[in-house]
Amino acid sequence: MARRAKVRGPGDLAKLPARSREAFANAAEAVSEARRRGTTIAQEVERLQQRGVRVSRYSVRRFFGHDLERGPGGYSIPKPTDRSYHGDLEIISTEGKVARPVRGSKARRLVSDHANAVSDYLHARDPDGEGLLRFRGKRVGGVELETDPGRLQLRRDAGELDEYELYAGSVSV
């Protein structure tokens, strides 16, 4: 059985050695991708390893075993939702682009969907900004999501939204 490592937030993550922080991030990606694609942990670990990512089923169980359940054929699959910390997220808020610790798959999905709606608006795929309306008044990580088209235009023109990455501190490839 994998020795569990409890990472409840950025403080716990900072206490881990660099190699374990890398293992944590890669294991979090495997869980997120398995949930998004509807695949098993074994399939996602194999797919990530083929891309050159250092991840193992052991590290997934070590950091996220509480978020897994047995699926068809006895393979580990992620539970439909979780309350785990996967890393700080960059949130496009009324305060600007801020990095905040976010717990839970539903909150991570909300931030991701909001970032996609902002991108659609700013790249003229949603010129009226109708996709932003469903986020009005929503808060994540202690900040309110930005839904005002005028302020989003100003932030883009100021270059504040350049090089946006969902996970704070992630490296573009």
48-100 pLDDT tens trace: 999 999 999 999 999 999 999 999 899 999 999 999 999 999 999 999 999 99
The more confident residue out of 77 and 164 is: 77
Contacts of 43 (CB under 8 A, 6+ apart): 34
* C-alpha–C-alpha distance, residues 142 and 139, integer Å: 6
Report the candidate in 106, 117, 100 with the shortest Cα–Cα distance to residue 82: 106
**3-state SS of 103-150?**
ECHHHHHHHHHHHHHHHHHHCCCCCCCHHHHHHCCCEECCEEECCCHH
Res 2 pLDDT > 80: no
Report the candidate in 118, 17, 3 with the shortest Cα–Cα distance to residue 63: 3
pLDDT in tens, 20-40: 999 999 999 999 999 999 999
pLDDT in tens, 147-157: 999 999 999 99
The pLDDT of residue 70 is 97
The residues spanned by each domain of the chain are: 10-78, 85-157
The residue behind tokens 């990472």 is: 7
R_g of the chain computed on alpha carbons: 17
